Structure 1
Amino acid sequence: MSGKLVAGFIVVVTLIFGIVLYYTQVYAYYDRVNAEEVSFTMVNISTGLAEPIIADDIEAIDGTSSPIRFRACFTAGMSSPTMQETYVAYPEPTPLNAPGWFDCFDAQEIGTDLEDGQAVAFLSEKNIHDGVDRVIAVYPDGRAFAWHQLNEKFNDEGSEPIQ
C-alpha cells in the first residue's frame, strides 16, 4: 500500500512541477507593454542614424529575464517601398517565436514572408542591448512586426571563445 502512495505522490509532484514550469515559460517572464511606452526607429541609409518612425495600433510584450523577449505588432506610417529607399535593410532577419497568447505575432509566417519577399526587414536599432539588434519587418500594406535578435557578436563566426 505504501508503494502506491509513494508513486501517487511522485506523480502529483511531477504534475505540479510541469504546470509551474509551463506557466513560467509561457506567461511569467512576459509582460504586456503599454503602447505609449514603445517607440520605433529605423536607421537612415544616408546618415547612419536612427530616426523615429510613425507607428499606430501597437501591441507589444517584453520580459526582463532576457533581452530577446521583445515582440511587437503595429501599423507603420510609411509605405514599404519608401522605407526601402530610406532605411537600412537587415541582412539576416530571423523572427523569434512569441508565446501563443500573443497571437498577433506569428514568427513562422513572418519568416516565410521575409524569405519570399512579401515583407522587408529593416534595422531598427543596432545593439539595443549588448549583442542584440531590434529588427522591424514591414509588409506593403503597412503591417509591421518588431523583435530583438542576436547580432554578429554572438554568431559562431564572430564570437570569441569563452575563457
Structure 2
Amino acid sequence: MMGKILAGLIVVCALVAGAAMYWLQVYAYYDEVPAEGASVVLTPRDGGAPEALEIAEFQGIDADSSPLRYRACFTTDTTPSALDARFEPYGGAEPRVAPGWFDCFDAEEIGAGIDAGTAQVFLSERNIAFGIDRVVAVTEDGRGYVWQEVNECGDKAYDGTPLGEDCPER
C-alpha cells in the first residue's frame, strides 16, 4: 500500500512540475511592449542611422530571459517595394515561433510569405544585443512583423569559433 501512495505522489509531483514549466515558458516571462511610443525602425541602404517607419496597430511582447523572445506586429501604408528602394534587405531570415496566445504573429504564415515573395525582410538594427539583429518583415497587404535573429557573430560566439574583426566587442 505504501508503494502505491509513493508512486501516486511521484506522479502528482511530476504533473505539477510539468504544468509549472509549461506555464513559465509560455506565459510567465513575457511582458507586453506598450503600443504608446513604440516604434519600428529600418536601416537605410547607405548605412545611415535607422529611420522610423510610420506604423499603426502595434502589438509587441518581449522577455528579459532571452534576446530572441521579442516579437511585434503592426500595420503600415508603406509598400515593400517602396521600402526596398531605401532600406537594407535582410537575407536568410526565418521567423521564430511566438507563444500561441500572441496570435497576431504566425511564424509559419510569415515564413510562407517570405518564401512566396509576398513579404520582404529588412534590417531594423544590427547587434541590438551581442550577436542578435532585429529584423522587420512587411507584406504586400500592409501587415508588418518584427523579430530578432542570431547573426554571424552570434553564430561564431555560440559555437566557439573565433570571432572575426567584423564582430563588435562583447
Match of 1:78 in 2: 78
- Is the 2:96–2:107 contact (alpha carbons within 8 Å) kept by the matching residues of 1? yes
> Structure 2 matches for 1:15-26, cutoff 5 A?
15-26=15-26
Taking every aligned residue pair, what percent have the same amino acid on both sides? 43
Alignment: residue pair count = 162
- Is the 1:53–1:77 contact (alpha carbons within 8 Å) kept by the matching residues of 2? no
Q: Displaced runs of 4+ in structure 1, greater than 6 A? A: none
Bigger drift between 14-23 and 32-41 goes to 32-41
- Is the 1:42–1:51 contact (alpha carbons within 8 Å) kept by the matching residues of 2? yes
Match of 1:123 in 2: 123
Q: Deviations over 1:50-109 (max 9, x none)?
A: 111111100000001011100000012411110011110001111000000000000111
TM-score, with length taken from structure 2: 0.89
Match of 1:29 in 2: 29
Which amino acid in 1 is paired with 2:34? N
Write the distance in 1 (CA, Å) between the matches of 2:37 and 2:24: 24
| Structure 2 CA distance for partners of 1:26 and 1:84, relative to 1, 3 Å | same
- How far does residue 142 in structure 1 lie from its aligned partner after superposition? 1.0
Write the distance in 2 (CA, Å) between the matches of 1:73 and 1:9: 44
Q: Deviations over 1:117-139 (max 9, x none)?
A: 11000001111111111100001
> Structure 2 matches for 1:8-157, cutoff 5 A?
8-155=8-155
Unaligned stretches of 5+ residues in structure 2? 163-170
